Structure 1
């Protein structure tokens, strides 16, 4: 295509030309998704003071090549000189290609917009507000219905960074569960960066912020309030390099185990602590949550008897805490 002479993305007529071009390259379903991403980005801009025109421009263009055949995407990867890792990887390549087209064929040279398009799938360390908004708008726009999206929406509407971190963490865990051997480095670094940002914010906000013992006690109290049984907090710091505390609890059944885990995740997130990884499934009868310094393991009575985890940590001290009773 010929580059349009007016390259000011803030010009409404110019942006309409971009919109017309994108729509012509997408199916109705994909275009509907794009419209919803734009709407979500506008909403988040109003909530968090983002640059509306930058976010809208990036949101319009982010999926422009999403439906191109794989061989065409591969040709564009080579044309723009991208890393070979993007060959035969449309989920990773389409954002990079869209950003290159926006810059080289549409004359948009604002790096904030270019980065927002380029990293809308993977995220990256050091994301700007524009990048964060487009990234998370793509993840939570109203037609998204995947498992966990409501929790990501909730986190996003409470705090933009926490929403991004929740989305990145869930993505990494989903890929691991699927047995994907390669996870993009930008995603892993983005998750680490958001964890650092949120921890720094919490320290600044709270001064003497909660330590691992405080979180362990809070997790136990949350489990107790939601009718978990036989709750034990093991102090494993001297026996293990993986964590300081292990919280062990029993759920009444498989459904209860899943509900208890959800409650702990939500409660600790309210205090600024987000789970790093989750092992097990809600229907399996056991779930383990890794928070770094603390581990929360909830099982059915049958699975707890089978695995006999108490025996492994029998020589460790336990924390005493006040049982406040079930709700």
Structure 2
């Protein structure tokens, strides 16, 4: 294993991004090497925590590499629609989810189609999108239309109305802020095998104190190099939107990881990123307040002071 830069430096280590870099360094240096579902292999630790102050517009947006926050924002807005087909994402050139259905297509048809061609066909062809673009009941479906079943006198079950967890949490925060049940859950055990990928960022809990909205996210599995930068932004974004909708100020965002790992083929990215120093404090401006949380558009968000260092790329493990 190549050496990684030391955590000792002359800069002010109070910058919140050092939490992320120190976690990356700890995993790469001391993590347990494990085989995983993808076959790539990881170094992993179990149980990690990062804490970020969101007051004054601050956001956990990394500066040691470019994070495409608009792409992550488009994904979050897509989640809130409850959609389960990648077609709308592909229309916006958001390819976060394309690799999973593409892998299925290649395996089932034997056709070595490029991602660009596959995405273009999803957008252009209705039947192709319906057959190959479906992900199953992933995140957004569970968030805004959790399925229910009603027991019948004859012992059978009848499908009931879906539960919009996001709307219910917002209503609960408005009317009963001291509740300990402000939770959005994605881990629907009965439907895991129908999902292209079971939810990684699975449980969000909200907490109100002194007029501020705090959020804790538990993530069962976390790709620290590629996934976590998006996850931090997206969860804090959801917190900011809910705070605005409930007339609360954003408070603290707490991220907790279960299996927190780096893929073995991400070494070059890890070593380059650990050689960099955080610089700058990105903020998010919400330019308007829509009627509901389901009415935001990408034009409602601005990051006026984001000047990251260069992008870092590595292969995604499917």
TM tier, smaller: under 0.3
Higher relative contact order (CA 8 A, sep 6+): 2
Hey, which of these two has a bigger chunk of helix by percent?
A: 1
Hey, which of these two has a bigger chunk of strand by percent?
A: 2
TM-score normalised per structure 1? 0.22
